[in-house]
């Protein structure tokens, strides 16, 4: 599967990135810069029970 799907409800919580500048969050295998503002992102763990 590919395309411009930014929020797939069926994607498990594997890699989640949050922008340090605007707070935008996105699931991705690798995300070096924010797609919204181009700011720095960090990998965050979001365990859900």
* Token pair belonging to 12: 């498990």
Is residue 37 near Zn ion by the rule CB under 5 A? yes
Question: What is the distance between the alpha carbons of residues 26 and 36, in angstroms, rounded to a whole number?
Answer: 10
25 Cβ contact partners less than 8 Å away, ≥ 6 residues apart = 16, 17, 18, 19, 44
Least separation in angstroms between CB 32 and Zn ion: 12
Smaller CB distance to Zn ion: residue 1 or 7?
A: 7
**Binding-site size, Zn ion (CB under 5 A):** 8
Binding footprint of Zn ion on the chain (CB under 5 A): 19, 21-22, 24, 34, 36-37, 39
């Amino acid at each position: 599967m590919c395309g411009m799907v930014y929020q797939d409800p069926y994607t498990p919580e594997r890699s989640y990135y949050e922008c340090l500048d605007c707070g935008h969050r996105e699931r991705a295998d690798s995300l070096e810069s924010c797609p919204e503002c181009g700011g720095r992102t960090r990998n965050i763990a979001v365990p859900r029970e």
